[in-house]
Amino acid sequence: MTTDLHAAAKRCLDATDPAEKLRLTHATWEAFQSGALHADPNSPPPAPIGAPGRPARPLLVPQRQVPQRGLGTPEGRVALVHAVAHIEFNAINLAWDAVYRFRGKPEAYYRDWASCAHDEARHFAMLSARLAELGHAYGDFDAHNGLWEMAEKTADNDTARMALVPRVLEARGLDVTPSMIERLRSVGDTRTVDILDVILREEVAHVAAGTRWFRHCCERDGLDPREAFIDLLRSYMGRTLRGPFNRPARLEAGFDDEELDRLTALALEA
């Protein structure tokens, strides 16, 4: 078995079967924790980014073609669980790509993203089990590829990756999950509520890791983090930023009040 963390991360990233991806993810995290894996400076350079390992289904379609279903129906609730499972599956790949692609980082960087992959794999497993309870499986509904498309756009820019994937796209979960929880609770789906409560609590730490390493990149490059963040948003996302924002959760995840005020103003412009 390799001792190179980058190579191990690539194996996790390339696995197409969800069960195998989860198995490799947990084994890689445990090996890293035990000291059996380390980021080898002599590891071959990362390959150009492409599609990650994923199963043949779900079918990936443009975001506007993913049906919007209300949570008042059983089908709507299943579709929601599937949509969150798809986000978590993507998040496993995003975390491993952050480990595999960006080299020469402090050990704490690799620890943060390997730990994140481990958490996301656990989240996906919980959601898959819930789908099974509801008579479905991952792949039964169409999904979109927005998270991974941003990974591709930021493959050559670690500052942009840390700013835009955890602090924008994944942080959106902090904003929308509380209302999902309330609506599911109102229709008595406490089983899904319990899972989303765990995910919401743990995603704060993942967004915080993005904040931490975005600011690290800015310090390295002599950039003002607040200005750099807004510049990257405008450059990569144009007018697609959506609010409102879960201010308490985002503050806990490392945003500050000035950033959140500017984000709110940007979202109003969109």
Tell me which residue of 104, 85, 115, 166 sits closest to 9, measured CA to CA.
Answer: 115
Provide the pLDDT for residue 270: 62
Could you tell me how far CA 256 lies from the centroid of its own chain? 21
**CB contact at 8 A, 263 and 171:** no
Domain of residue 253, CATH code: 1.20.1260
- Span 60-67, mean pLDDT? 81
Provide the pLDDT for residue 237: 87
In a 13 Å sphere around the CA of 53, the CA atoms on its Cβ side amount to 19
Secondary structure (3-state) at 154: coil
Domain count, the chain: 1
53 lies in some domain: no
Provide the pLDDT for residue 73: 85
Provide the pLDDT for residue 268: 82
Tell me which residue of 262, 231, 225, 230 sits closest to 247, measured CA to CA.
Answer: 262
Domain that holds residue 164: 5-36+63-269
108 lies in some domain: yes
Could you tell me how far CA 165 lies from the centroid of its own chain? 7
> pLDDT, tens digit, for every residue of 150-201?
999 999 999 999 999 999 999 999 999 999 999 999 999 999 999 999 999 9
End-to-end Cα spacing for the chain: 49
43 lies in some domain: no
104 lies in some domain: yes
Tell me which residue of 67, 78, 223, 69 sits closest to 138, measured CA to CA.
Answer: 78
- Span 241-266, mean pLDDT? 94
DSSP assignment letter at 238: T
Q: Is the pLDDT of residue 240 over 90?
A: no
Q: Is the pLDDT of residue 239 over 90?
A: no
**CB contact at 8 A, 200 and 173:** yes
Q: Please, what's the b/e burial string for 213-250 (b: 16 or more CB within 10 A of its CB; e: otherwise)?
A: bbbbbbeeeebebeebbbebbeebbeeebeeebbbebb
Please report which confidence band the pLDDT of residue 28 belongs to, taking 50, 70 and 90 as the band edges.
Answer: very high
d(CA 31, CA 1): 10
Q: Which of 60-69, 102-111, 178-187, 188-197 has the lowest mean pLDDT?
A: 60-69
Q: Is the pLDDT of residue 66 over 70?
A: yes
Please report which confidence band the pLDDT of residue 249 belongs to, taking 50, 70 and 90 as the band edges.
Answer: very high
d(CA 210, CA 224): 16
Interior angle at CA 89, CA 171 and CA 42, nearest 5: 90
Q: What angle do the packed helices 107-133 and 5-14 form, to 10 degrees?
A: 20
252 lies in some domain: yes
- Span 34-61, mean pLDDT? 95
**67 compared with 257, residue with greater pLDDT:** 257
- Span 58-74, mean pLDDT? 81
Provide the pLDDT for residue 1: 60
Q: How far is CA 34 from CA 7, 12, 23, 111, in A?
A: 17, 18, 17, 12
